[in-house]
């Protein structure tokens, strides 16, 4: 996810989705990422960089993930409508306001 800022609002959007496969009881991997879960020492390895992971508030993480998915789909819908109907401009900025109404 990346965080975008605009004059109408700000929020997370999904930049890339990746699936981790389990290789052992403590390691998960994909083409670009490796997650090592070893008791208290949890690490995420991305392109030869090691990032320590702290405990996560899951409800906050789910909220951010849902908002990112919603905004990503809303921005995609806006682009699709603007390409199909070029005489009318449907603003992606409405996504920031509609998220507050949905949640």
Q: What is the pLDDT of residue 43?
A: 74
Question: Is the pLDDT score of 39 beyond 90?
Answer: no
Average pLDDT, stretch 34-49? 72
CA atoms of 53 and 43, how far apart (whole Å): 6
Please report the pLDDT score of residue 67 as a whole number.
Answer: 93
**What is the sign, positive or negative, of the torsion defined by CA atoms of 12, 14, 16, 19?**
positive
Extents of the domains making up the chain: 2-102
Return left, alpha or beta for 73; rule: phi > 0 is left, psi -120 to 50 is alpha, else beta. Answer: alpha
CA neighbor of 24 nearest in space, from 33, 32, 36: 36
CA angle 58, 61, 62 (to 5 degrees): 85
Q: What's the pLDDT score for residue 31?
A: 81
Q: What is the pTM of this model?
A: 0.72
């Amino acid at each position: 996810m990346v965080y975008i800022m605009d004059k109408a609002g700000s929020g997370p959007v999904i930049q890339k989705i990746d699936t981790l496969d389990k290789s052992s009881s403590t390691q998960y991997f994909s083409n670009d990422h490796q997650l090592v879960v070893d008791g208290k020492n949890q690490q995420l390895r991305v392109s030869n960089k090691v990032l320590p992971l702290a405990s996560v508030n899951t409800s906050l993480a789910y909220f951010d993930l849902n908002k990112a998915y919603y905004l990503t789909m809303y921005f995609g819908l806006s682009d699709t409508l603007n390409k199909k109907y070029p005489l009318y401009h449907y603003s992606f900025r409405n996504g920031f306001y509609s998220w507050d109404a949905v949640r």
